[in-house]
Structure 1
Amino acid sequence: MLTRSDGHGTDLYRAVAYPPPFPSFAMTTELVQIPAWTPPAETKKEDLDWAPLHTLDLSKIQGEDFDQVPQDVVEQVGEAFSKDGFMYAVNHGLTHEQVLRQFAIGQYAFNNVSEEEKKRCVADMVNAGSFVGYKPMGHWQLQGVKDRIEQLNFGSQTFTPAKRERFPVQMQSLMDEIHEFARYNHDVILRKVLAVLSLVLKLPVQTLWNLSADHEKGLDLLRYALYRTPPKEDDTTLNGVRLQGHTDFNSVSILWSQPITSLEVLMPDDVWRTVRYRPNAIVLNMGDAIHFLSGGFLKPTIHRVVAPPEDQAHYDRLGLFYFALFNDDVELKPLTDSPVVRKAHESRNFWDECKRNGLPIPTAGEWERMRVRAYGQGGQKKGSDGHDHVKIAGVDVTLYNDTKNSNKRAHINSSQPITRIMSELKELGEDKDSGYAAHPSEDNIFEWHFTLRGPQNTEFERGVYHGKILLPTEYPFRPPDVVFLTPNGRWEVNTKICLTFTGFHEEFWQPAWGIRTALLGLQSLMASKADESAAGAVVMAPEDREELAEQYVNIADLLRSSAWTCNVCQVQNHALLAHKHAIDENEAIKAPVSSESEAAAEDHVRLKDERARGCEYVCDAIYELARVSLCARAGAHTYA
């Protein structure tokens, strides 16, 4: 009998409304005393755009094997999960007190487990592709912002005496209770849901359960999660998004409803809507695995977590979840015995790329591990639809961003780029680093001019270089372009250059980066090996770059990189950096242009002809240097 006494005459794990189906899991020991969890106050804000979700009454699914399902339930569930992918479920068989006890265990896990134990029990997400164990904050990143989510995950295979040791010592006395709750989610709630879904697909009622039944050999996951309130600047950068829109990797997800109003679902009309809290209810959603097996008929739920309303902003969000998976070795190919699946699959060929490459269709376990490894690690690319995309086993996996129709909280305020740019201007004005300076032009705040010292102990160290950073109107959500105006031997002049933080690679750009990031990146990459295939890159021997820098010093004051003047800024390079670091007067060349300078320029013109076949860019750069010399002799004082 699924019971557990709390010492006060309450059976915390008695199946309600139907006979307990698994008497071998009877529990008689008393519960460990831990602090109770007090649910946060519900929001009083009523003008939210609530998601119109169906409700499944689980008590209607009867029979010893949960094989008696009314037809109206089948039709309702089929309607919900083929369109929205989300629905509530009530009458699951546990009392509200039983559920609150599980939230108390989650609270205990994050408040009472030592940092040492958390570190010891960290999940191997990157290598093993497993969430089992402790997930610390910061493992995932969205637009350069690290997540603020802690998790403690219990896998269905990890409750044996030997494997329990991989969990924190503070949780060991609670393991039996955690295991029992996990089994109830699997053996009762999941089994009922899978019975209905099998009938939705017009398959025998036990079909999907038979692919999931072995709990001890399965990959199900019971998760306690704590969404800590992030710094305000993180919410500002991400427009309040705290977990990017995504689909779950598994078959069925069971989310135990809690009061913090943060869960949003992307509805079929492409609008994010809020999921309302319902006491002692669960929220069901479909994942990737069941989407594949159903040939695409059952929709994987697109959902995310956002900042709550203001009256809940001071709360951390405690979550309780059960993620059900098919057994590890279940191949994720459509169940074509189903007429529903065959019809849905006609327009969807999930695994074509695998087949073309002679690769097997992944199993449920392989898919889970691949997605765990990839999630939040920055490998996605921005698509034309505005969402992020990553290929996994040949399948285009979408990570969902705000869309043109999404609610106002998701919109980018038209003043946001200006606010961000002004903030960066203030930050750079206070920056005491003498290696760079940058400022917007007077008539266009999206065009910045920068001055950059060459990195020390390199062939560029005597150079001071000038260029432009061109910000898009969508900044900081799209990257800038960078153009050098002074010859430098590393990048072409008057050409947009290809770097990971420029417009050539929007897929790598993170909105948390900025103008200072670009300046530091340029300094760092200046002495790196140039990729000849990259736009704007120049391949030049170090001695030639050093010679080019020396010529700036030797030709004349007006030809020195530190004395070069931008025709927009109308200020010499050294003056742009003067407020940070005075130019060494002993290095200043104050003599007028001399015959030696002209001779040097003529030498460079000859050198241009000699190197014509070896390095075309060096020719162009030195030709420009000679041209500047001639302009200087004629009295010109700017470099166009």
Structure 2
Amino acid sequence: MPSVALPVIRHYIAAPPTREKLDYADLAILDFSKIGTPEGHAELSVQLRDAMTTNGFFYIVNHGLTQAENDRMFDITDVALCGVPEEEKRNYLANISDGSNEGYKLRAYLHIDGGVRDQFEYYNINEDISCKQHPKAVRPLLPEVAEFAKFNHYRILHPLMRLFALGLELPEDTFVNMHNFEAVGESYVRMMKYYPRSADDEVNAKQVWLKGHTDIGTVTILWSQPVTSLQVLMPDGQWRYVRHIDNALVVNSGDAMEFLSGGFYKPTVHRVVQPPQDQRGYNRLSVIFFAMTDDNVKLVPRAESPVLQNLKHGVQRRWADDADAPTMEAWRKGVTSTYGLVELKKKEDGTEENIVNGIAVKYYS
């Protein structure tokens, strides 16, 4: 991260951690200070594989950024969301209906439930910051965003992709080679803020701020923040909160990793709900890195994996034939252009779904 002559911006004051007793998920913690040794690499590979075949969420600590550098990214995020006039934001809207998430999504764009519209906004910046133009207040901060994106890509994503490959007994760079920084794709830094809702909206939407879903890409890297709203659907069918850990990363895999691993690494269902009582007056500011493969990667299982070949149930596919598998571009555009914008079909098990590229995309209340 840049360390000299940084632009002076307002410091964002985060909410204090909740003091309420909540039912928290028991998630693995990967210590990335071990990533540089063969022994540590092997240990982390086993730890990640266990996490991904149980609940699919885990933390990363000792990743290489200081708390001050972490705080700076939240300050920048606050500028992008609160330091840009609404009329200027409209000049940089994401073309969501055409399947692109780069740019702003303003509040009340998506339907959540019970006639309730969303109360969150975000600004997505492609890891290649030159892909789009940016609002005036953000432009002086772009060098820092670019460094942050590179950090996530090379220092977090690529090591994780090597660990995922080792878990399948594949060559270490199998998945790394699908995530090229210079390639055409839509991995991006998301700057996001949830705002408190009215009492009526909370009732009508059953306290759900974002329905349970899986992410589109390979992995999602969330920089932990204190407003406790994120829940994960655990193997026992219960929703449990994700605990905040200072300067930690909260990581989960997505649809693309499920497709590439033949169902071995299942994407984790998660949602955002109303915070506990002692945090309900606060906004929820988030910094997230969404990782996807290069657009031209066809999301077919790596069937050459010895692990997949030895599974009793065999390789699992969400389509009839590998020829029907989508590319990363087709999958991200199909899901992005329909999420929260089309009527969902209700299923007997209480879930809802939409069909994208012939594949059922499920949502959970």
What's the TM-score, normalizing by structure 2?
0.96
Q: Displacement, 1:110? A: 1.5
Distance of 1:360 and 1:265 partners within structure 2: 30
Distance of 2:47 and 2:54 partners within structure 1: 11
Any conservation in 1 of the 2:259–2:317 contact (CA below 8 Å)?
Answer: no
Q: Which residue does the alignment assign to 2:3?
A: 5
Offset from partner CA, 1:297-341 (integer Å, 9 cap, x none): 101011000011111000010010000111111100000110223
Q: Which residue does the alignment assign to 1:237?
A: 204
Percent identical: 38
Question: Are 1:58 and 2:32 matched, yes or no?
Answer: yes
One-letter amino acid matched to 1:103? F
Q: Which residue does the alignment assign to 2:245?
A: 278
Aligned-partner SS, 1:139: coil
Q: Which residue does the alignment assign to 1:100?
A: 71
Question: Are 1:327 and 2:294 matched, yes or no?
Answer: yes
Aligned-partner SS, 1:126: helix
Question: RMSD of the alignment, in Å?
Answer: 1.6
Aligned-partner SS, 1:170: coil
Q: Which residue does the alignment assign to 2:106?
A: 136
Residues 146-225 of structure 1: matches in 2 within 5 Å? 146-157=117-128, 159-160=129-130, 163-165=131-133, 167-225=134-192
Structure 1 or 2, whichever has the larger Rg, is 1
Residues 109-128 of structure 1: matches in 2 within 5 Å? 109-127=80-98
Residues 448-467 of structure 1: matches in 2 within 5 Å? none
| CA 215–379 in structure 1, closer or farther in 2 if over 3 Å, else same | farther
Aligned-partner SS, 1:83: coil
Which structure 2 segments of 5+ residues have no match?
none
Q: Which residue does the alignment assign to 1:346?
A: 314
Any conservation in 2 of the 1:125–1:373 contact (CA below 8 Å)?
Answer: yes
One-letter amino acid matched to 1:367? W
Q: Displacement, 1:366? A: 1.2
Q: Displacement, 1:206? A: 1.2
Distance of 1:140 and 1:238 partners within structure 2: 13
Offset from partner CA, 1:251-302 (integer Å, 9 cap, x none): 0100000000100000000000000000000001000000100000101011
Aligned length: 363
Q: 2:330 aligns with which of 344, 354, 366?
A: 366
One-letter amino acid matched to 1:175? L
Q: Which residue does the alignment assign to 2:16?
A: 41
Distance of 1:81 and 1:189 partners within structure 2: 16
One-letter amino acid matched to 1:131? N
Distance of 1:277 and 1:312 partners within structure 2: 13
Q: Displacement, 1:360? A: 3.8
Moved runs in structure 1, 4+ residues, more than 6 A? none
Query: Which is bigger in relative contact order (C-alpha 8 A, separation at least 6)?
Result: 2
What's the TM-score, normalizing by structure 1?
0.55
Q: Which residue does the alignment assign to 1:421?
A: none
Aligned-partner SS, 1:327: coil
Any conservation in 1 of the 2:262–2:315 contact (CA below 8 Å)?
Answer: no
Any conservation in 1 of the 2:153–2:181 contact (CA below 8 Å)?
Answer: no
One-letter amino acid matched to 2:283? D
Residues 69-108 of structure 1: matches in 2 within 5 Å? 69-108=40-79
Aligned-partner SS, 2:137: helix
Q: Displacement, 1:76? A: 1.2
Any conservation in 2 of the 1:294–1:334 contact (CA below 8 Å)?
Answer: yes
Q: Displacement, 1:168? A: 1.1
Any conservation in 2 of the 1:296–1:341 contact (CA below 8 Å)?
Answer: no
Q: Displacement, 1:69? A: 4.9
Distance of 2:13 and 2:310 partners within structure 1: 48
Distance of 1:53 and 1:75 partners within structure 2: 14
Any conservation in 1 of the 2:127–2:181 contact (CA below 8 Å)?
Answer: no
Question: Are 1:398 and 2:362 matched, yes or no?
Answer: yes
Any conservation in 2 of the 1:186–1:215 contact (CA below 8 Å)?
Answer: no
Distance of 1:74 and 1:237 partners within structure 2: 43
Any conservation in 1 of the 2:211–2:364 contact (CA below 8 Å)?
Answer: yes
| CA 268–384 in structure 1, closer or farther in 2 if over 3 Å, else same | same
Q: Displacement, 1:241? A: 0.5
| CA 297–321 in structure 1, closer or farther in 2 if over 3 Å, else same | same
| CA 341–140 in structure 1, closer or farther in 2 if over 3 Å, else same | farther
Aligned-partner SS, 2:53: helix
One-letter amino acid matched to 2:12? W
Any conservation in 2 of the 1:156–1:217 contact (CA below 8 Å)?
Answer: no
Which structure 1 segments of 5+ residues have no match?
7-29, 402-640
Offset from partner CA, 1:4-36 (integer Å, 9 cap, x none): 224xxxxxxxxxxxxxxxxxxxxxxx1111001
